[in-house]
């Protein structure tokens, strides 16, 4: 059994949750100078245990795997959660890269976080979003191996490039702005769907 902490600004990958009714979709778009990739995973699990004193909920997926979720004080309406409740989680990761035709910008990294929770009296639910924006230098362009290397404020990364048109516009010395977003939402549904 695994345990994870659920607070509004903690991002928990869906792989930490029990396998259950899961759907995943990936979308990608690419044009010269821009790339956007987004993956969304939706999962369902059932509440099979509640420790009200320590605010721990045990979730079970359809394969029988369980995980303990420690719900901080930020998880509003915790007392409404009941055994057998159906929990739906949705996790979205998105990466957007855009070429900036300038070499005068300073490499930088800016992070922002936000969260929302259910109103008093509503079914328990919450959402957390984290966004990281990085301005990076293009340090290598390799059409033969279909890669571009970017150097940000903390490290360098070499990215695979599937669209050959990118090599027509991206040059060594250019800058790329990368926006990485994570969003995690969890809600308790009105009707249990999974069977024991």
The token duo for 186 is 């969890």
**pLDDT higher than 70, residue 104:** no
Beta strand pairing call for 2-6 and 66-71: parallel
Strand partners, 179: 96, 133
Q: Tell me if 15 sits within 8 A of 79, measured CB to CB.
A: no
Higher pLDDT, 102 or 34: 34
pTM of the predicted structure, to 2 decimals = 0.66
Distance CA 80, CA 95 (A): 36
**Residue 141: which of 161, 124, 127, 155 has the closest Cα?**
161
The token duo for 103 is 């070499």
Give me the chain's average pLDDT, please: 80
Percent of the chain with pLDDT over 70: 83
Residue 26, burial from CB neighbour count under 10 angstroms (0-12, 13-18, 19+): exposed
Beta strand pairing call for 156-160 and 56-60: unpaired
């Amino acid at each position: 059994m695994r345990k994870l902490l659920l607070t509004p600004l903690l991002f928990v990958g869906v792989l930490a949750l029990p396998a259950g009714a899961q759907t995943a979709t990936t979308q990608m778009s690419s044009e010269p100078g821009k790339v956007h990739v987004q993956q969304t995973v939706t999962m369902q699990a059932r509440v099979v245990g509640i420790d009200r004193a320590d605010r721990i909920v045990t979730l079970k997926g359809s394969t029988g795997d369980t995980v303990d979720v420690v719900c901080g004080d930020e998880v509003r309406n915790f007392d409404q959660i009941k055994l057998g409740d159906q929990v739906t989680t949705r996790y979205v990761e998105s990466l957007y890269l855009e070429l900036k035709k300038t070499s005068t910008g300073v490499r930088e990294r800016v992070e922002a976080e936000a969260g929302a929770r259910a109103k008093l009296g509503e079914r328990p639910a919450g959402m957390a979003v984290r966004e990281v924006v990085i301005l990076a230098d293009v340090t290598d362009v390799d059409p033969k191996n279909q890669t571009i290397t970017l150097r940000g404020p903390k490290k360098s990364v070499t990215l695979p490039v599937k669209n050959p048109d990118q090599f027509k516009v991206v040059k060594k010395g250019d800058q790329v702005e990368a926006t990485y977003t994570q969003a995690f939402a969890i809600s308790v549904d009105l009707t249990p769907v999974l069977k024991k």
